[in-house]
Structure formats: C-alpha cells, structure tokens
Amino acid sequence: MTPTCKDGLMLIDGELTAGEGGARGQWIDSHDPATLAPVGRVPAATAGDVDLAVQAAARAQIAWKSLSVWERAAQLRALAAAIRARGKEILELEARDTGNTLAKLQADIQIAAGYLEYFAGLGSELKGETIPATAQGLHLTLREPYGVVARIVPFNHPFMFAAAHLAAPLMAGNAVVVKTPETSPMTGGILGELCREVLPRGLVNVIHGHGSPAGDALVRHQLVRRIGFTGSVATGLAIQRAAAESSVKHVTLELGGKNPFIVFPDADLDRAVEMAVAGMNFSWAGQSCGSTSRLLLHESVHDEIVERIAAKLSALRLGNPLSLDSEMGPVNSARQHARVLDFIAAAHQARTVGFRCG
C-alpha cells in the first residue's frame, strides 16, 4: 500500500465542494500522527457554508419524511452496503488520520453498517400510543420528526460515529448535518461521497471545520432542532450553552467519563488484570469514553495488581497503526500528546507531595 495525500471535500446540497471556506484558502491539514506525513486536507466551513448545508437539509427533509418506513429502510440498507464496499479504503485512511490500529479498526466498519441495518429493521416500530384517559374522547400521541438534526463527531472513531449516528434520525424521517472532528476529518469526505451516491440530494450534509465558526453556527442555527454531540465535557457545556441561547433545542451530550474498575480481595486476580488492561482500550491509545480510567484496588491486592498490570503494559507492541502486528499506535494529535504528558507530570507531582485520599 502506497499512502496518498488528497483533499476531502464537504457535501452540501448534494454537491462535493470546498465551499466558501475553501475558496478563501481556509483549509485544515491532516497529518499521520505516527509519521507526521501529510494525509490530506479539508476545507474549513464558514458560517455561510453551514447555513447552506442546513437549508439544504431542511428542504430535503420535507420529501424524506413523506416516504414510507420501508422506502427509508431500503435506502439505509443501500448506504450500509456502500460502506462495506469501500471498507478497505476507509480503514486505511482512518488509521493514517487517527493513529488507531488497523487490526481493531475493522470492527468500526461493521458497526457503522450494522447500525444502519439495525435501525432500518426497527423502522416499523415507530408508532404512537392511544390512551384511555376519558370515556368520551380519543387520546393519542403522534410522533413527528424533528426536521434537521446536527451530529457533531469525536476524533477517536470518526467514521463509525458519523455513519452510525445517521441511522436513527434518518429512519425517523429527519435530515442530518454532520460535522467532522478537526483533527481526524478525512474519512468524513468518503462518507459524503457515499451519501451523495445513495441518498436523496441534500438529505445528509457533511461539513468540516473548527468549533468556531462552523460548530457554533451549526448549534445556533434556527432550523436545527436536535443536536447530538460526543466529546469533551468542556465542548459539551459550550454546545449546551449556545443551543440554549439561540432557541429551544433537544440536546444529547455523550461526554467523557472516569470509569472505575474496582477489585476486591476475593476477586479472580488473573481475570481482573486481564479485564483491566483490555478495558483501557490501548488499540485506541486509551482515547475512548469507555476506557478504564481508574483502578480502585483493595489494599491487600493493590501491589500485586499494579505490578502485574505494569508487566502486561510493558509487553504491548507499539508501532505504526497500519501494521497488523501493532497493538497500539500514537495518540491522535500533538494536543493529545501534550495532554497525556500533563497527566503524567501531575501524577509524579501527586506522588512527590504525597496526596492521599481518605
């Protein structure tokens, strides 16, 4: 495989375009975190680009919501098939763009396509309720689509989250505007190409760019009534604030957790060590909302478990994420690298000063 460098475009109103941002020379360069070699670049959307994307989604949604669930389901299944057909290309580009290991990334393609197929099958369950509240009247609920849904995607699984998070809103009759992560945007360009081939014009729009102006303009847009975000607490708070300032919107935030792994004295220590390390998700360099972030160990087993975990970690095979032998690649970006070093320095400081919980 010979790595190539390419531009990833936005999908706005059914057209692959660099938009106003690209025309102004506003591009975001992507580099392979393993080698620092250029992977490609994407245009940075302006507020005007975002408005065009949202307006296109709003127009397309009118016809889309009128389709039967069976018609919508067929198009979701077609998108899933298109993703699988270009799976190898997506995987290789994603490994270079994120630093995630190729061996584990293969599951992301199946998850993305699987979500589309799952929600396609779930469409017939979209129904309201009748409620016998009074003998004289008929009381019922009727579920309606929101209209335009914004999906803001994190850097750790950019393609999987972008594609999988189309499934539910599309099946429910909505249109979607996806914003890719600025440090790992490249496979978002492929998703745009696939949506252009398979789905009605304007139904899905894919934009690239920074949190400001692109993300802020998307969150504040009056036609965006539903927002889904996966990422950091700080960004989630900013999105919640901006959404509340601009309109009444339904916002879902999936933010980072500090997941504890608790070991009591009567635990199977072999199993505990195995699961603790597996849960740290080193295939993603630990950059996962489900990663084991904390070990809470009973003092009677503390030293043994720490020693055994350290031994397992020292045996991890670090390397280029494109190698199937690599168990862990680099962290996603220079910013992530600096953040990890800060955590290590803070841990050394805590040990030196002698912080103690109690």
Given 5, 117, 289, 327, the catalytic residue: 289
Nearest-5° Cα angle at 350, 349 to 354: 120
Instruction: Report the candidate in 21, 20, 40 with the shortest Cα–Cα distance to residue 29.
Output: 40
The rounded distance, in Å, linking the Cα atoms of 21 and 243 is 23
3-state secondary structure of 333: coil
Given 117, 254, 274, 327, the catalytic residue: 254
Q: Which three-class secondary structure string do you get for 64-131?
A: HHHCCHHHHHHHHHHHHHHHHHCHHHHHHHHHHHHCCCHHHHHHHHHHHHHHHHHHHHHHHHCCCCEE
The rounded distance, in Å, linking the Cα atoms of 151 and 180 is 9
Output the CA–CA distances (angstroms, integers) from residue 145 to 61, 150, 166, 282, in the order listed.
9, 13, 14, 39
Instruction: Report the candidate in 195, 203, 194 with the shortest Cα–Cα distance to residue 176.
Output: 203
Q: What is the β-pairing status of strands 148-152 and 175-179?
A: parallel
Q: Which three-class secondary structure string do you get for 146-162?
A: CCEEEEECCCCCHHHHH
- Torsion angle in degrees (nearest 10) through CA of 194, 216, 100, 315: -160
Asked about 5 being catalytic, the answer comes back as no
Q: Are 287 and 156 contacting, i.e. CB atoms less than 8 angstroms apart?
A: yes
The rounded distance, in Å, linking the Cα atoms of 219 and 55 is 14
DSSP string, 308-331: HHHHHHHT--B--TTSTT-SB---
Instruction: Report the candidate in 207, 200, 255 with the shortest Cα–Cα distance to residue 228.
Output: 255
Q: What amino acid occupies position 187?
A: T
Asked about 92 being catalytic, the answer comes back as no
Active site residues: 254, 289
